[in-house]
């Protein structure tokens, strides 16, 4: 059995670069597939509505501003009479190169600036909402300030009433304690029990209200 000989294919650089091979992807197919990429990556949402894309655009603009600050010449105030011919050749060449860099990359940064300019109306309603509701917040703050004084007044009223309640409780306790002592004395008298004075330790009859020896009232203890 013979072996099938392989056919070597020669590919030129032009065929690779311009897609001239028979199996090369056509431009229309590439465009169609590319248009479907946002639906796969961003859940059928527009790319400009994706937070990550907005963050990337913000970072690119910040990077652009940083470059401008770095490459901007910090020129000192020069006298109007000073001749511009004194500027060195290196400075003129440096400025020319920077200007050329921005001219070449201006097309890259312009779409992002245009995006933010077109979507500025999207962000403005939120600022307008806070501006319109600022008056509402101010009114609530004023209401709170007015009612703060009312709360302080009620607190003082509560403190006064609490003090009165404490005084009434003390009077109630003292009167109830005296009633308890009278009940004990009456019970001892009915039972015919003698009692001993706590001041002079003299023994007295149950019918004696005051101590016979020191004349102290029995209700005092």
C-alpha of 50 from chain center: 23
**Is the residue at 217 inside a domain?**
no
pLDDT of residue 111: 62
Structure tokens at 166: 């404490």
Q: Answer whether residue 151 is part of any domain.
A: no
Radius of gyration of the chain (CA): 50
Decide if 67 is inside a domain. Answer: yes
Q: What confidence score (pLDDT) does residue 1 get? A: 47
Mean pLDDT over all residues of the chain?
67
Residue 133 within a domain: no
Q: How far, in Å, are 32, 88, 89, 123 from residue 95 at the CA level? A: 43, 11, 10, 37
Supply the pLDDT for residue 61. 82
- Write the DSSP symbol of residue 219: G
CA 165 to chain centre: 45
3-state secondary structure of 195: strand
Largest pairwise CA distance in the chain: 151
- Could you give phi then psi for residue 32, rounded to 5 degrees? -65, -45
pLDDT tens-digit profile of 79-121? Answer: 555 555 555 656 666 677 777 776 666 666 666 666 666 666 6
Task: Look at residue 78 and tell me whether its pLDDT is greater than 60.
Answer: no
Whether 95 maps to a domain, the answer reads yes
> How many independent structural domains does the chain possess?
1
Q: Domain for residue 174, yes or no?
A: no
What residues form DSSP beta bridges with 204?
195
**Domain assignment of residue 95, given as a range:** 18-71+91-118
The average pLDDT across 194-200 equals 81
Q: How far is CA 189 from the centre of its chain?
A: 77
Domain membership of residue 81 (yes or no) is no
**Helices (H), ranges, 42-88:** 51-71
Distance CA 166, CA 56 (A): 69
| 132 belongs to a structural domain | no
- Record the tokens describing residue 179, joined without a space: 């009633």
């Amino acid at each position: 059995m013979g072996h099938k000989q392989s056919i070597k294919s020669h590919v030129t650089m032009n065929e690779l670069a311009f897609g001239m091979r028979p199996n090369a992807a056509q431009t229309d197919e590439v465009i169609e597939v590319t248009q479907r990429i946002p639906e796969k990556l961003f859940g059928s949402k527009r790319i400009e509505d994706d937070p990550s894309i907005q963050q990337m655009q913000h970072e690119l603009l910040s990077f652009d501003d940083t470059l401008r600050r770095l490459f901007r010449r910090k020129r000192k105030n020069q006298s109007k009479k000073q001749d511009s011919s004194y500027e060195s050749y290196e400075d003129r060449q440096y400025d020319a190169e920077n200007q050329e860099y921005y001219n070449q990359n201006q097309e890259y940064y312009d779409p992002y600036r245009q995006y933010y300019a077109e979507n500025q109306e999207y962000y403005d309603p939120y600022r307008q909402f806070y501006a319109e509701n600022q008056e509402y917040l101010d009114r609530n703050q004023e209401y709170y300030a007015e009612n703060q004084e009312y709360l302080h007044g009620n607190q003082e009223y509560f403190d006064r009433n609490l003090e009165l309640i404490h005084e009434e409780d003390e009077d109630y306790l003292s009167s109830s304690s005296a009633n308890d002592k009278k009940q004990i004395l009456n019970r001892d008298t009915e039972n015919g029990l003698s009692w001993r004075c706590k001041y002079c330790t003299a023994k007295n009859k149950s019918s004696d209200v005051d101590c016979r020896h020191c004349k102290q009232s029995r209700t005092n203890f």
